Amino acid sequence: MKRSVLWLAIAATALIGARVTQAEEFSDDPAPSSFFNDCAPFVKLGRGLSNFTFGWLEVPLNMKYGYEHQDQGAGLMGGLVLGAAKGLGRMAVGLYETATFWLPQPDYYGPILPTLEYFQRGHDPLPLE
């Protein structure tokens, strides 16, 4: 029971942090609000948990990119290798951001990695051609 409550709390924190990160990233307001300044550690925690949890999505994303832009067989295999490397990197960055979210950040601090294409606005996962 304790484990399921812990995992539920971690998932809720990741989802809330990812939502706050998305709201901060696409804000039209040039001056950051005090809410984001006060909650910056939790934004970093949510981004770190999201990167660690969803880092494996780099594999299919890079396989798709390789299939579309290169020879099909080589693109799939190259995308698999590149996606695995990028996925491990994203998971390592997520682990780092999760472990250091409580440390004070400088004023110019920003995300280490860009948001995955799957989670960006305007991304159509299954384009109809």
Going from N- to C-terminal start, the domains of the chain cover 2-115
**pLDDT tens, residue order, the chain (129 aa):** 767 766 766 766 666 655 544 444 555 554 455 555 557 788 888 889 989 999 998 998 888 888 888 888 888 888 899 999 999 999 999 999 999 988 887 777 778 888 777 666 665 555 444
pLDDT at residue number 114: 81
Q: How many CB atoms lie within 10 A of CB 118?
A: 12
69-121-38-89 Cα dihedral, nearest 10 degrees: -20
Evaluate if pTM is beyond 0.75.
no
Position 128 scores a pLDDT of 43
63: nearest Cα among 88, 84, 80, 49: 80
